[in-house]
């Protein structure tokens, strides 16, 4: 055990200290932040005048929505159904609907729109709504206070009691009048993002394992080391060490990306984002958070507009399953493939010889990424179902399916199969590896590999 830790430590430290690791760690977040920031920037920078129709069933917001430089409000007297029907024919950018509430003050609103709603519009509406409701609460409180003159006033309690967050859902109305919750788009982004992340992680760090094994073979140090430790220990030490490098890089990316995004968006929108919510955002993505926190998020006053929609989408997803299965498929997908990459590295003499073995190994991965577009359209279909069970494709395909909701038992079966796949490939890989690392100057064929696996 001490020895395998030594191996893990060496594999980890030599890679983390490399210049290429540091460069990748800096470039990755810049790229990812760019992907997030550019659309936000475009969304905030359009100065076109937008008309928003308002259907206010409560009557509380009459004349409260003041026109701004880019948004003009007009009130409809019709009910919501006819408003929606007419929406397609009007020139309105969006339709704001504030449903009637019986007892409490309204804190919900729906924005119908033909396209993704501009976040400036949304935040403008939210600000006005919450301010109005806070004013009303304050009024009520003050009325109470004047009645009970002898009770002391606690300003902090007072302020807290009136604080209000408004929950705005956005629903897209298609050209055919069909309604679609717009955050399925977020699910889709989440699905593709998760899938690409796993694909990329397996590919990049799996081939690092392979190159590491080849390096040990060509430098002829491998026999020196296997006279001190078992070949299996060397192989697993390398796989785990490189995996930890990957996780480190991933964690750094998440942290740096959010630092960049929060930094840039706050200067863009001119608002500071509360440290609290960005911290939670970071925690949830690194996976070390308590799921309850995120689900409770809308109850807290969030001023952060850019991430708001993502929060809404995130809230619609079963978080323990999402994060738990992401980590599981992420890790075991990597472990399973890394073992096979190590076996290839052990079997060949140089990187040039790896081609014939790399193709069949990476084909399932490439296939699942190619089919991603299709699976996103039909995440519960037979192709998606079967590919999410096969261990070689399940890490990527399951990640595509999960944001859309997958029955827990299907996830469980897929996990069990992946675990079995991991144990099976590791066993096979360790046999190929063991024989291969001591073999030099021989071009290995599939027949030969088969013999090595069957060997006593």
Residues forming the site for another protein (CB under 8 A): 3, 6-7, 10, 14, 215-216, 219-221, 223-231, 438, 440, 451, 455-456
Cβ closest to another protein, residue 15 vs residue 172: 15
CB of 21 to another protein, least distance (A): 13
Would you say 399 and 201 are in contact if contact means Cβ atoms under 8 Å apart?
A: no
Cβ closest to another protein, residue 223 vs residue 300: 223
How deeply is 436 buried, as exposed, middle or buried, from its count of CB atoms within 10 A (0-12, 13-18, 19+)?
A: buried
Cβ closest to another protein, residue 22 vs residue 408: 22
CB of 262 to another protein, least distance (A): 38
Q: How far is CA 447 from CA 114, 213, 349, 359, 364, in A?
A: 60, 22, 17, 17, 22
CB of 276 to another protein, least distance (A): 43
CB of 221 to another protein, least distance (A): 5
Would you say 71 and 52 are in contact if contact means Cβ atoms under 8 Å apart?
A: yes
CB of 438 to another protein, least distance (A): 7
For residue 128, give the nearest of 62, 58, 44 by alpha carbon.
62
Cβ closest to another protein, residue 131 vs residue 451: 451
CB of 37 to another protein, least distance (A): 37
Number of Cα atoms under 13 Å in the Cβ half of residue 142: 6
Beta-carbon contacts of residue 67 (< 8 Å; ≥ 6 apart)? 73
d(CA 97, CA 88): 15
CB of 304 to another protein, least distance (A): 45
Cβ closest to another protein, residue 235 vs residue 397: 235
Token readout for 298 is 């809308």
Cβ closest to another protein, residue 81 vs residue 220: 220
For residue 36, give the nearest of 341, 303, 260 by alpha carbon.
260
Q: How far is CA 424 from CA 6, 343, 411, in A?
A: 26, 13, 20
d(CA 221, CA 212): 12
d(CA 436, CA 217): 9
Cβ closest to another protein, residue 209 vs residue 273: 209
CB of 423 to another protein, least distance (A): 22
Cβ closest to another protein, residue 374 vs residue 440: 440
Number of Cα atoms under 13 Å in the Cβ half of residue 453: 15
CB of 211 to another protein, least distance (A): 12
Q: How far is CA 149 from CA 146, 160, 162, 313, 434, in A?
A: 6, 20, 20, 46, 85
Would you say 368 and 199 are in contact if contact means Cβ atoms under 8 Å apart?
A: yes
CB of 6 to another protein, least distance (A): 6
Cβ closest to another protein, residue 232 vs residue 319: 232
d(CA 455, CA 437): 15
CB of 425 to another protein, least distance (A): 22
Q: Could you please report the per-residue DSSP string of 122-167?
A: HHHHHHHHHHHHHHHHHHHHHHHHHHSTTSPP-HHHHHHHH----E
Cβ closest to another protein, residue 229 vs residue 413: 229
Cβ closest to another protein, residue 143 vs residue 456: 456
d(CA 289, CA 279): 10
């Amino acid at each position: 055990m001490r020895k395998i830790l030594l191996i893990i430590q060496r594999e980890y430290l030599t890679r983390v200290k490399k210049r290429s690791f540091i460069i990748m760690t800096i470039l990755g977040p810049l790229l990812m932040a760019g992907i997030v920031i550019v659309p936000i920037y475009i969304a905030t920078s359009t100065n076109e005048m937008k008309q928003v129709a308002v259907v206010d069933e409560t009557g509380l917001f009459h004349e409260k929505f003041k026109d701004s430089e880019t948004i003009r409000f007009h009130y409809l007297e019709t009910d919501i159904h006819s408003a929606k029907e007419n929406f397609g024919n009007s020139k309105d950018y969006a339709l704001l609907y504030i449903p009637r509430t019986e007892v409490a003050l309204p804190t919900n609103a729906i924005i119908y729109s033909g396209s993704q709603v501009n976040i400036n519009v949304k935040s403008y509406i939210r600000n006005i709504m919450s301010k109005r409701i806070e004013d009303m609460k304050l009024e009520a409180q003050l009325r109470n206070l004047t009645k009970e003159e002898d009770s002391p006033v606690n300003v902090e309690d007072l302020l807290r009691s009136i604080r209000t967050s408004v929950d705005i859902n956005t629903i897209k109305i298609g050209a055919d009048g069909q309604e679609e919750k717009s955050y399925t788009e977020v699910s889709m982004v989440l699905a593709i993002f998760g899938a690409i992340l796993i694909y990329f992680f397996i590919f990049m760090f799996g081939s690092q394992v392979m190159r590491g094994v080849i390096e040990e073979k060509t430098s002829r140090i491998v026999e020196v080391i296997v006279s001190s430790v078992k070949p299996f220990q060397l192989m697993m030490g390398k796989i785990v060490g490189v995996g930890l490098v990957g996780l480190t890089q991933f964690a750094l990316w998440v942290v740096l990306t959010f630092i960049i995004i929060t930094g840039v968006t706050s200067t863009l929108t001119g608002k500071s984002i509360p440290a609290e919510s960005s911290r939670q955002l970071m925690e949830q993505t690194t996976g070390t958070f308590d799921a309850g926190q995120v689900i409770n998020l809308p109850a807290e006053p969030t001023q952060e507009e850019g991430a708001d929609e993502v929060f809404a989408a995130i809230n619609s997803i079963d978080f323990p399953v999402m994060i738990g299965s992401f980590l599981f498929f992420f890790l075991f997908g990597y472990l399973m493939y890394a073992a096979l990459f190590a076996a290839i590295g052990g079997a060949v003499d140089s990187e040039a010889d790896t081609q014939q073995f790399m193709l069949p190994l990476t084909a399932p991965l490439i296939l699942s990424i190619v089919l991603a577009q299709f699976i996103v359209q039909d995440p519960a279909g037979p192709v998606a179902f079967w590919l999410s069970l096969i261990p070689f494709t399940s890490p990527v395909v399951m990640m595509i399916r999960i944001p859309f909701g997958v029955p827990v038992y299907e996830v469980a079966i897929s996990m069990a199969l992946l675990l079995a796949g991991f144990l099976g490939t590791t066993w096979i890989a360790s046999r190929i590896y063991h024989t291969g690392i001591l073999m030099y100057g021989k071009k290995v064929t599939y027949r030969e590999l088969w013999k090595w696996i069957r060997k006593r």
